[in-house]
Structure 1
Amino acid sequence: MIPERVLLTLDLPDEQASNQLGEDIAAALRIADVLLLSGDLGMGKSTLARAIIRAMAGNPELEVPSPTFTLVQAYPTRVPIQHYDLYRLGAPDELEELGFSEAIRDGAVLVEWPERAAEDMPKDAVRLSLSEKGQGRTVSIDAPVDFAERLQRSLLIRRFLDDAGWQHASRNFLVGDASTRAYESVCRSDGTAMILMNAPRRPDGPPIRDGKPYSRIAHLAESVTPFVAIAKVLRDAGFAAPQIPAADLDNGLLLVENLGTQGVLDAHGIPIAERYIASAELLARMHMHQWPQRIEIAPDAVHVVPAYDRVAMAIEIELLTDWYLPYVTGTPTGDEDRAEFAHVWEQMFDLLDDAEKTLVLRDYHSPNIIWREDRRGDDRVGIIDFQDAVIGPAAYDVASLAMDARVTISPELEAAAVDAYCATRARLGVFDREQFETAYAIMAAQRNTKIIGIFVRLDQRDGKPAYLKHLPRIREYLSRALAHPRLAPLVPIYRKAGIL
């Protein structure tokens, strides 16, 4: 059955437009994409292919020789690319000698003169046909629906940048995270740079409880509106959240200030103690503020910060029984074990009823903390990735920092960060350290229970096995948290799960 396809036609009035389209295609490119570039000599096939490869490499000066004589050239870019030119192909069966099938399996493939082996081209390939139009060119793109949707999203981003005054800005992939969000660096010719947040509205998953999907129960952001709202109140309070000069709330696109490139780790990925301690002290000052729960960012756009209630916390810890335990045991978790796990955690949540509540950023750890060496005071620590913020126990973000899921924090550095937080809180006002330490242990255990399940889910469901390397660290963090006497009821359960 031939898959459904979409036809797009774009004008390319000059070489700059071709280079820009190359960037836009590169932003949409994934493993197993095959792009067939057709057109007469001089129609710009090599120009477009070169632009795609340079954008994928993040290097506009990259040497991209024509593979006319070698027939194929490989590039180890973000998505590995093999660039084929079949003009001199002797026979179609030579394709396999050139590793064509392996290239499609392992990366993306660009093919010039595909008609030389037309019968051997994948049926789901993207066909780009270039032809002359006036002084320029036109390109017709015949693509499967999946690629067409990705490309249309990329072209929408280009229009957003144009409307925001960033015409002809270069685009380079920056990072993707564990969700559907992705980030690009956009740069003008004068060197001015910003961050493009591409966060399409999160679709509801299947209902799992009381007719609600996981994302709603756990209060995960489904649009960019929460990010804009939380950034606003953080800036209003004097903290270093990014400015947002342009926003398309409906389409999930934001142009965001680049707060810097330094983080809290050194060049070898080792935590820098001074920066973790400063980040903990910043949290202490943040937790002295009274944060609004209702935030208006436009006359028709209001964000109400949800409560981090026990229902949300409980659905998160179930990720251990849903994903981690079946992964290590090879069998689904039984109903009796689930019930016992939930019952004991309810006792822990009871202990949080009197814990101090504040704005919880929820992912306050190394990937989301920017160190600004040239700044002073609260402006020295930049904060990003806070769209899932809730009102909940103040101890949560301290645990997120001091037991950083992405990097190993020694017991000594953990203690130093917690001590710095507590000392700053005590200096600024009344502070019950004993109550805080109980809440800290519970939230550290809750967060790491959630994360150990998420990392397995990312492997098992989403095909991202790289997250499994973090599991030993998370088990170690859980053993630290569960050493607190008030968490003793949890110890037998986690020991039975093989975590302790």
Structure 2
Amino acid sequence: MTPAEAASPEQALPEGAHPFLAAAGWGTAAVEPIPGDASARRYFRLRRPGATAMLMHAPPPGEDPEPFLRAARWLDANGLRAPQIIADDSAAGFVLLEDFGEIRMREYLDAWPQDEHEVYTHAIEALLQLHRLPPGPFTQYGLSEYLREVRLFAEWYCPVQGLTVDLAGYTQAWEQVLGPLLARQRPGVAVLRDYHAENIMLLGGLEKQGLLDFQDALVGHAAYDLVSLLQDARRDVPEELERAMLDHYIARSGADAHFAEDYARLGAQRNAKIVGIFVRLWKRDGKPRYLDYIPRVWALLERDLAHPALAPVARWFDANVPAALRDPAGRLGGTFAA
């Protein structure tokens, strides 16, 4: 299918794409739409003889490609494999990218589970490489952002479950839990924030990993991307593998004695946020498929809440979220019927 032959709204290139691609030398390429993700961004694979590329459309005002471009160029300049930028028009929301192919870590491990330990070890090594760098050109992941994110649980999950909860107590509990790690995340490391098996591409070998979906990068705690990888919302990571990879990171990085408890703090923070986001994707954005992930994320959240460092937040959950809504087998119930 050439650009001129795109047949449906889902397949058709966005308005303005043709002149952008022509100027970049890809005007006659065949176009293959790529299924979308949780954002409003759209992707297309372009094919011409002997070469492929990816077109990303992140249209303003809802999207802005500049954070992606800034992070991609910084990562590439520092030896990590983000897609190289072929051409861009930020004002129109177009970015033409290197194509990393179709072998994601997620699908590779579905086919070759015996390689799980090796693949995750390489993913941890990539994080170690990232964390040896000075913090990137990103803003700080501060308490206000942590709290804004965890409030998504109270703002979206609790109402659809018919819960009236203590919002002030919720915020205060998280302030108690997250406060101690703030000093430990300075000067901080680049935090990609969505570092997991569906955003890691395998580039011609298990040790060669390409990075995707890093446009929301901030400077924060080294444990955050470990949580994203090892407490994956979309893929079951065995607990023994999670523990082995966490131990590997701690041993190789020389992390301090508080690192494991901070991992639990950020695990609970991230998982509470994700439950809220997945409900929002359903209720606001009409994407109910993300509800299928909620039982896994809830189970991870419960494990994190069991850590002593999470005691204030765990008490809040015990007082505000009934046990019937915290049962892995029946948590979604009829309330979440799409």
TM above 0.5, one fold? yes
2:298 aligned residue (453, 461, 475): 475
Alpha-carbon deviations, 1:315-340, whole Å to 9, x = none?
A: 11111111111122x25x34xx1111
1:254 aligned residue (95, 106, 117): 95
The equivalent residue for 1:165 is 25
Q: Is the 8 A contact 1:395 1:436 kept in 2?
A: yes
1:179 aligns with 2:2: no
The equivalent residue for 2:64 is 223
The equivalent residue for 1:22 is 5
Q: Is the 8 A contact 1:180 1:202 kept in 2?
A: no
The equivalent residue for 1:240 is 81
Q: Describe the SS at the equivalent of 2:31.
A: strand
Q: Describe the SS at the equivalent of 1:387.
A: coil
- The share of aligned pairs that are identical, in percent, is 37
Q: Is the 8 A contact 1:281 1:420 kept in 2?
A: no
Within-5 A mapping of 1:240-389? 240-266=81-107, 269=110, 272-293=116-137, 305-328=138-161, 330-331=162-163, 333-334=164-165, 337-356=166-185, 357-374=188-205, 380-389=208-217
The equivalent residue for 2:315 is 492
| Corresponding letter in the other structure for 1:463 | G
Q: Which has the higher helix share?
A: 2
CA distance in 1, matches of 2:227, 2:217: 15
Q: Is the 8 A contact 1:369 1:382 kept in 2?
A: yes
Q: Where in structure 2 are there 5+ consecutive unaligned residues?
A: 328-338
Shift of 1:408: 1.3
Higher relative contact order (CA 8 A, sep 6+): 2
Q: Is the 8 A contact 1:366 1:401 kept in 2?
A: yes
Q: Describe the SS at the equivalent of 1:154.
A: coil
The equivalent residue for 2:243 is 415
Shift of 1:375: 7.3
Alpha-carbon deviations, 1:354-388, whole Å to 9, x = none?
A: 22321110100111101124375xxx111111000
Pick closer, same or farther for the CA change 1:406–1:202 going to 2, 3 Å.
Answer: farther
| Corresponding letter in the other structure for 1:274 | E
| Corresponding letter in the other structure for 1:261 | E
Pick closer, same or farther for the CA change 1:239–1:470 going to 2, 3 Å.
Answer: same
Q: Describe the SS at the equivalent of 1:362.
A: coil
CA distance in 1, matches of 2:34, 2:180: 41
The equivalent residue for 1:401 is 229
Shift of 1:284: 1.6
- Total equivalences in the alignment: 318
Q: Is the 8 A contact 1:20 1:170 kept in 2?
A: yes
CA distance in 2, matches of 1:201, 1:499: 39
CA distance in 1, matches of 2:99, 2:214: 15
CA distance in 2, matches of 1:479, 1:410: 15
Q: Where in structure 1 are there 5+ consecutive unaligned residues?
A: 1-15, 30-55, 57-150, 204-221, 294-304
The equivalent residue for 1:137 is none
CA distance in 2, matches of 1:230, 1:436: 26
Pick closer, same or farther for the CA change 1:391–1:199 going to 2, 3 Å.
Answer: same
The equivalent residue for 1:93 is none
Alpha-carbon deviations, 1:410-451, whole Å to 9, x = none?
A: 21121122122222213xxxx31x221122111111111000
Pick closer, same or farther for the CA change 1:185–1:464 going to 2, 3 Å.
Answer: same
Q: Describe the SS at the equivalent of 2:56.
A: strand
Within-5 A mapping of 1:96-107? none
Shift of 1:266: 4.2
CA distance in 1, matches of 2:91, 2:221: 31
The equivalent residue for 1:441 is 264
Q: Which has the larger radius of gyration?
A: 1
The equivalent residue for 1:192 is 51
Shift of 1:344: 0.4
Q: Is the 8 A contact 1:285 1:425 kept in 2?
A: no
The equivalent residue for 1:424 is 252
Within-5 A mapping of 1:113-132? none
Q: Describe the SS at the equivalent of 2:82.
A: coil
CA distance in 1, matches of 2:15, 2:179: 50
CA distance in 1, matches of 2:39, 2:16: 20
| Corresponding letter in the other structure for 1:488 | A
Pick closer, same or farther for the CA change 1:438–1:268 going to 2, 3 Å.
Answer: closer
Alpha-carbon deviations, 1:242-265, whole Å to 9, x = none?
A: 100100011111011112322223
1:201 aligns with 2:60: yes
Shift of 1:468: 0.6
Pick closer, same or farther for the CA change 1:202–1:406 going to 2, 3 Å.
Answer: farther
